[in-house]
Structure 1
Amino acid sequence: MVYNIKNSKELASLINYTNLNNIITESEMKEFLENAKEANFNAVVVSPTYVALAKETLKDTSIKVGSVIGFPLGFETTEAKVAEAKSLLDKGAEEFEMVLNLSHLKDEKYELIEDEIRQVKDAVGDKILKVIIETKALEDYQKANASKAAEKSGADYIKTASGFVSPNHIFENVNDINIIQKYAPKIKIEVDGGINNYKFANQILTAGADRIGSDQGCEIVKAYKELRKNTKVTPKPITITK
C-alpha cells in the first residue's frame, strides 16, 4: 500500500520546503522563495533573518511562512524562546518550530517541558506550533513522554527532527510515527531529515505522517511529475455496445 497522491499540487501541499542554511545570501534566499512559489508548497521554513523577506515575496500566494525557535539545540531559557516567538509573530510568521529542551527531557522534568511549550503556545496564539524532539537522540520511552507533554501543553505538531540529527532509515521513521500516534493520538506529525526523493516521501506519508519537512521539496515534486509523465497511458479508442 502507498499513499494515494492525486497530483503534484496535492503533494506540494504536504511539504514544508525548508532552508535553514546559516550562510545563505539574500539573493540565494530570493531564488529559493521563487522556486517555492512555482511549486506552491504548504509552507516555507526559513531562519528568523529571512521571515520578513519571505512574507513579502510570498504575499500573493497561499504559502505560509514558518521559522524556528531555540534552533537547533533547544537549550535556551523559556524567556528567550517566548521572546523569539513574539518577535517572529511580529515579523509575520505563521508556523513556529521550537526545539525541545532535551536536557529537561533526559532528566524527566516534564513540568518544566510542559510549562515552556504552554508559554510559547500562548505567545503564538492560534498559529501553528511544532515541537522538535530529535527522535534520533532519544530512547523510545523518551519519544513517548515528549509527545505526551507536547500534546498536553497545546502544541499542534510533533516534528521528529531538526534536520541535523535525524533517523537514516524508513523503519526508524515508521517506529517514531507509531510511538507518537500511540502516546499522543491527537497531535499531528511532521517528519524531517533525509527526505530527499519521492519514494522516501511517499513511504513517510504512507506510514502516517501529516507533513514532510525537506530542503529537497522541489526535487521531490519534480520526481513525482516525471513519474506521472513516464507512466501515463493513453487509452485506445473503444466502441461500447449495448
Structure 2
Amino acid sequence: MVIYNIKNSKELASYINYTNLNNLITEAEMREFLEKAKELNFNSVIISPTYVPLAKEILADTDIKVGSVVGFPLGFESTESKVAEAKSLVENGADEIEVVANLSYIKDEKYDLLEAEISQIKAAIGDKTLKIIIETKALEDYQKANIAKAAEKSGADFVKTATGFVSPNHIFENVNDINIFQKHAPKIKIEINGGINDYKTANQILTGGADKIGSDFGYEIVQRYKDLRENTQVTPKPITLTKKD
C-alpha cells in the first residue's frame, strides 16, 4: 500500500473533522475543546447543536468550519423534524449539517423516501455542506451502494460511515466501504468516522481513498505527528564529502 504523502501537520489537520458529541460536556469543557481545535486549525469541528453559537464565536477569526448533527444518533425522526433541525442549525451559523439516515428506510429499500428526505433537507440549507450518516456497520454492501447512490442523486455532498456510537469498522471494512462508494456514487465525497485514534490509522484511511476523517482524537493525531515530524530537533553530525585516506 502506498503511504499517503502528508507534507506537514497543517495539511493533516485539514483532512480531519475534530469531533466532540459528548452529551455530558460542560460549557467550560467545550470552550477548552474549541481552543484546542483553534490551535491546530482543523477542517471543521463537529459538535452538538447546543454549542454551535459558542463555536461560531470562538472560531470567528479562523477558517475552521462549524458542523453539527440532525436526527442524531438514530435517525428515525420525521422528515419535517429533520428539516426544522437543519434550518435551525443554519440560522445559528452551522456550515456543515450531518444528518443520520433512517436505517428502517434503507432496510426496507425505500430509497424513494430517503431521496425525498435528503432533497428537502438540502433545499432547506442551501449551499451549506450536507453529509448523510449511514452507519455502514449495520448494512450489507448492496445497501451501502444504494444509499450512496440515493444521497448523490439527492444533492448530498458527503456520505459518512458512522455516528461513532457503534463498534468501529476495521481498516479493511472502511476501505471496502470507500471502494463501494467510489464505484456506485463517484461524485459524492467520503468521510470515515469511528475508531481513528492515531496517525497510522488516519494515514491508512486517507491512503484508502477517504476525503475526510471524523475523529474525537483529532488533536492527539495531529499533535503526535507534529511532535515526531516538526518538534524533534536533530543536530546532524559533521561530515565530509570526500573519502578519508
Same fold (TM over 0.5): yes
**Equivalents in 2 of 1:236, 1:204: separation in Å?**
39
Distance 1:231 1:94, change over 3 A: same
**Equivalents in 1 of 2:233, 2:103: separation in Å?**
46
State the one-letter code of the partner of 1:113.
L
RMSD: 1.6
Q: In structure 1, what is the equivalent of residue 16 of structure 2?
A: 15
Corresponding position: 1:5 with 2:11: no
Corresponding residue SS for 2:229: helix
Quote the offset at 1:168 in angstroms. Answer: 3.2
**Equivalents in 1 of 2:234, 2:12: separation in Å?**
18
Quote the offset at 1:169 in angstroms. Answer: 1.1
Quote the offset at 1:223 in angstroms. Answer: 1.4
What TM-score, normalized to structure 1?
0.95
Quote the offset at 1:228 in angstroms. Answer: 1.4
Q: After superposition, what is the alpha-carbon deviation per residue over 1:16-50, rounded to whole angstroms, capped at 9, x for unaligned? A: 00000001000000000000000100000100000
After superposition, where does 1:34-73 map in structure 2 within 5 Å?
34-73=35-74
Corresponding position: 1:224 with 2:208: no
**Equivalents in 2 of 1:234, 1:127: separation in Å?**
49
Where in structure 1 are there 5+ consecutive unaligned residues?
none
**Equivalents in 2 of 1:128, 1:61: separation in Å?**
18
Q: After superposition, what is the alpha-carbon deviation per residue over 1:209-231, rounded to whole angstroms, capped at 9, x for unaligned? A: 00000010010001111231559
Q: In structure 2, what is the equivalent of residue 145 of structure 1?
A: 146
**Equivalents in 1 of 2:169, 2:133: separation in Å?**
17
Distance 1:190 1:236, change over 3 A: farther
**Equivalents in 2 of 1:232, 1:183: separation in Å?**
48
**Equivalents in 1 of 2:160, 2:73: separation in Å?**
13
Is the contact between residue 195 and residue 216 of structure 1 (CA under 8 Å) also seen in structure 2? Answer: yes
Corresponding residue SS for 1:89: helix
Quote the offset at 1:165 in angstroms. Answer: 1.7
Corresponding residue SS for 2:24: coil
Quote the offset at 1:2 in angstroms. Answer: 0.8
Corresponding residue SS for 2:220: helix
Q: In structure 2, what is the equivalent of residue 122 of structure 1?
A: 123
Q: In structure 2, what is the equivalent of residue 197 of structure 1?
A: 198
Q: In structure 2, what is the equivalent of residue 86 of structure 1?
A: 87
Corresponding residue SS for 1:72: coil
**Equivalents in 2 of 1:170, 1:123: separation in Å?**
35
Distance 1:237 1:71, change over 3 A: same
Distance 1:123 1:237, change over 3 A: farther
Q: In structure 2, what is the equivalent of residue 113 of structure 1?
A: 114
Q: After superposition, what is the alpha-carbon deviation per residue over 1:73-106, rounded to whole angstroms, capped at 9, x for unaligned? A: 0000000000000000000000000000100010
How many pairs does the alignment contain?
Answer: 240
Distance 1:81 1:234, change over 3 A: farther
Corresponding position: 1:75 with 2:82: no
What TM-score, normalized to structure 2?
0.94
Is the contact between residue 15 and residue 42 of structure 1 (CA under 8 Å) also seen in structure 2? Answer: yes
Distance 1:231 1:204, change over 3 A: farther
State the one-letter code of the partner of 1:169.
H
After superposition, where does 1:159-170 map in structure 2 within 5 Å?
159-170=160-171
Q: In structure 1, what is the equivalent of residue 172 of structure 2?
A: 171
State the one-letter code of the partner of 1:198.
Y
Taking only the aligned residue pairs, the percentage that are identical comes to: 73
Corresponding residue SS for 1:66: strand
